[in-house]
């Protein structure tokens, strides 16, 4: 009689383990792919020393354009006085991409009306820091942007 009760308990425990294990497996099979899908993939940071920004004669005075520098955007500006300037194009406030506003003569962030002067210094609005400068040089008539050393 006692042996039969022990057998019954053993079978119950065995079934509990099987059912609990199955439930854990089921939950894992649902959440693992979901978490894997939502987690952004790791991207290798591409180390770039310099990039070509095109020909000087294709770039009008008093204008700006965004250039891809590896995985980062850089804003290249050709001033009215024919100076070439380049800065990190990511706003130091909340990472929006900045643009050149020729009518105001500033680098402007549309997200919260942040402004930087043409030396990259934050002059109005919420940006807390200046934009990182890049080196701009000419190789023939080709504009080369490189990191400051």
Q: Which residue from 63, 64, 62, 91 is spatially nearest to 76, judged by alpha carbons?
A: 64
Which of the ranges 60-68, 72-80, 90-98, 130-138 carries the binding residues for ligand FES, by CB under 6 A? Answer: 90-98
Residue from 53, 84, 89, 109 in contact with ligand FES (CB under 6 A): 109
Q: Does 106 bind ligand FES (CB under 6 A)?
A: no
CB 97 to ligand FES: min, Å: 9
Question: Is 18 a binder of ligand FES (CB under 6 A)?
Answer: no
Q: Which of 72, 92, 90, 96 has its CA nearest to residue 146?
A: 72
Q: Which of 77, 127, 131, 143 binds ligand FES (CB under 6 A)?
A: 127
122 contacts 108 by C-beta, under 8 angstroms = no
Which residue, 49, 51, 119, 126, is CA-closest to 95? 126
Question: Which strands form 114-116's sheet, in the order they lie side by side?
Answer: 99-101, 106-109, 114-116, 122-124
Lay out the site mask for ligand FES across 23-52 (x = CB under 6 A, - = otherwise). Answer: ------------------------------
Q: Which residues bind ligand FES (CB under 6 A)?
A: 91, 93-94, 96, 109, 111-112, 114, 125-127
């Amino acid at each position: 009689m006692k042996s039969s009760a022990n057998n019954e308990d053993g079978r119950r425990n065995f079934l509990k383990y099987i059912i609990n294990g199955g439930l854990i497996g089921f939950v894992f099979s649902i959440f693992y792919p979901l978490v894997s899908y939502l987690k952004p993939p790791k991207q290798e940071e591409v180390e770039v020393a310099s990039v070509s920004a095109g020909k000087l004669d294709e770039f009008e005075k008093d204008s700006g354009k965004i250039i891809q520098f590896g995985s980062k955007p850089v804003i290249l500006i050709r001033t009215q006085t024919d100076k070439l300037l380049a800065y990190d194009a990511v706003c130091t406030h909340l990472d929006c991409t900045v643009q050149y506003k020729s009518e105001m003569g500033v680098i402007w962030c549309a997200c919260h009306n942040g402004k930087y002067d043409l030396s990259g210094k934050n002059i109005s609005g919420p940006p807390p820091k200046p934009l990182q400068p890049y080196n701009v040089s000419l190789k023939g008539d080709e504009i080369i942007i490189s990191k400051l050393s």
